[in-house]
Structure 1
């Protein structure tokens, strides 16, 4: 019934009681029936309705008494009226108290409905007596559908332990917490964190259970996915044939932030302060290593590595400095090549890639991937040995082509020696020997003999088959030696050689004979390209600097140039444009230059000659202060 209906019927009942009290000769306390009207008004749950109904009943009771009796004597009607008023008053007070209690309970229920958790109350038999709004929304059953149902049957609850054991724990401590699985009305399975609280009556007897459920389905799914991801990562970490090192560089970050240098100046600062680099190596802590790296380093377990990277790097290792600069500059990756020091002292050549976390993330997560390139190094060494053999053969072939020039070079000092010797004999055969002139001619003989010896030494050095050397070289000296070897050959073909060398060129590091062979091959090829052509034949060799770290040499001829179709294959082994050529000269030249850290390229316009560009890095001794 609506509130308006309750008010109406409460008023009708009160008026009916008034009429009976006034019009009938009944001697009983008919006014007591006003209590029913007050109780009927209380069903509206409005405090004002209760007060108005009570006030109205009091007015009607007093009016009925005054209408039916006079006030001169107090008799039994007055007592019945007082009893009726007392009943109305007591009933009103009780109804108001009940209304206040009901209001408090309703407020508490509204608070429970505002909760983000599912909350319901069940009695000792498991029957649901309260079901909040979140439970309606999450599980799908309305309050009307849930009330009176067995909670376990409705939700098809799956417990982590026996139901009896959980109930015993609840009775023992008054509370229970655990993770359970429940099904919604639609059949979806939810994982919830359940918290139970035992309710007692005023005698301390258990009468019900308040259950609060927090939906953790997504959290559990995310946790399971994370666990699976970590397990998958661990399987890959352990099963990978590539060595993996997990490191903590947070201490390094702090040390780098405290340095006075930043950005481009950092490398120079670190190069001038090797003590800081050594200290930094000790700050890069190793957290874990996989079995592949353990095998690579000759360790039986990862326990040998839970220290720092200093144990894995050689004393003169420079790769850590480069990695330190990359880390300080915020790069995400850094690659390099170094030697890993085994626990038994042996060294393993490796390639490595370091993956850094972004600056905003945790610097604990630094991964180093290491690949053993021992077999590749061995194959590379074998290739270099084969290349050295081919280079030696090419030098022999080159000197074979230059045999006429060599003979002319040697014959010149020999002829001078013979001429000087004959002149000396003539000065001695005079009647009065001219000893001063004899001494002069003997000095000429010694000088020419030394010149011949130098020519032979230079040729033998060029022919010598020896391991590659890494010496600090002056490029001007190498150019002078190479041009001396080919000068006669070029002169025979009327080729003019112009050498333009900048002053004070920085030194380079490399093998003198190999670099000399590169220049000889380029000069000989240029001369042969112009052989038999009419007009002027000129080779221009220039040496200078490109930037602060690179030396550049160009060999430019005035020959016919190189055909566009031949340019892409010019440096391929066994490709040649000459009749009877081996096709190895330029291939060896490029490999040799690249082994020295440089580049060799060619540019040509048919009919306008060809230009070979050779670049070499300065030696490290020159680059570092």
Structure 2
């Protein structure tokens, strides 16, 4: 077993022992000291701490145990003069412990759901991250780590467009105006990896509002299209070269055609001139043919 695995387990055991000791202290004080307050409500601290390292069943058992300790403390040291107020305090303690236990279970379920959703986002190869309205990164998935090279610890809290040195094709003010108006935006951006290498991405932004309806965060999903852009540029260059070659071939064909059209009458002129020279060289010269 590595030191990394031992350390969290040791911390959990230490926290569990401290929680048990706190419950024992509350039980002793609640049993020995007679006060006019619902001292047993302090057991909610035990439940909240237990929710940090116990599963749902463990939290329920801790909550029931705290209620049991409260009842036992009442039984061991009942008030000398039980009154409606003391009974109400005891009932308040039990109800409070039960309510906090239920809330802790609900919080655990919510956190578990969020963790599962985050783990699903980590399965995708596309970079996905969220940021607040000031641009500070709140979530950074594994796909973003693999593409850009920034680890989650490096990215969280950093300003996204500063970290990635984003180059906007469209002014960012226009992008944000459309995002606030329509709730989403999609377009091309140029980011840079941790080593400075540029990355062309198709970026999709989705706006998330808070309970008051105010813009709270932006979820950004990027798709690396650098290779596709390189292929498109190469294809465009090839098409340009082909068009230039076609123009050269057309000029060559036109030159050959013109040369052919000029050579034919010139050849006839030369032939006739040679014939005339031969007739002039005859004895006597054939002036009529010339």
Q: With structure 1 as the length reference, what TM-score do the two structures score? A: 0.38
1:44 and 2:53 equivalent? Answer: yes
Kept in 1, the 8 Å contact 2:125–2:142? The answer is no
Q: CA deviation at 1:127?
A: 0.7
2:125 is equivalent to residue 116 of structure 1: yes
Specify the SS of the correspondent of 2:185. strand
Count of residues in Structure 1 that have an aligned counterpart in Structure 2: 252
Q: Structure 2 residue aligned with 1:104, among 113, 116, 129? A: 113
Give the Å deviation of 1:194: 0.6
Correspondence 1:213 to 2:216: no
Q: Mind listing any 5+ residue stretches in structure 1 that lack a counterpart?
A: 242-290, 299-371, 379-625
Q: In the alignment, is the contact (CA less than 8 A) between 2:130 and 2:219 conserved in 1? A: yes
Q: Distance in 2 between matches of 1:223 and 1:84?
A: 71
Which residue does 1:77 correspond to in 2? 86
Q: Which structure features the higher share of helix residues?
A: 2
Measured after TM superposition, the shift of residue 74 of structure 1 is 6.2
Moved over 6 A (4+): 372-375
Contact 1:194 1:213 in 2 (8 A): yes
Give CA-to-partner distance per residue, 1:433-453, whole Å, 9 cap, x none: xxxxxxxxxxxxxxxxxxxxx
Please name the residue that 1:139 is paired with. 148
C-alpha change, 1:105 and 1:45, in structure 2 (3 Å) is farther
Distance 2:107 2:259 in 1: 88
- Do the aligned partners of 1:177 and 1:196 also contact (CA within 8 Å) in 2? yes
Whose RCO is larger (CA < 8 A, sep 6+)?
2
Q: Which residue of 1 aligns with 2:286?
A: none
1:240 is paired with a residue whose SS is: helix
Q: Once superposed, what is the RMSD of the aligned Cα atoms?
A: 2.6
C-alpha distance after superposition, 1:229-257 (max 9, x if no partner): 1221221122225xxxxxxxxxxxxxxxx
**2:33 counterpart of 1:15:** no
For structure 2, the 5+ residue unaligned runs are 1-7, 265-290
- The secondary structure found in structure 2 opposite 1:198 is strand
Q: What's the offset of the Cα at 1:25?
A: 2.2
> How far 1:21 moved relative to its partner?
0.7
Report what 2:233 is aligned to: 224
What displacement does 1:115 show? 1.4
Deviations 1:30-89 (A, max 9, x none): 10000000111112263233212212111111111111128x966433322211100001
In the alignment, what sits opposite 1:236? 245
Query: Which has the larger strand fraction?
Result: 1
Q: Is 1:32 the counterpart of 2:46 in the alignment?
A: no
- 2: CA distance between counterparts of 1:57 and 1:142? 42
Using the size of structure 2 for normalisation, the TM-score is: 0.80
Match 1:127 to one of 136, 154, 162 = 136
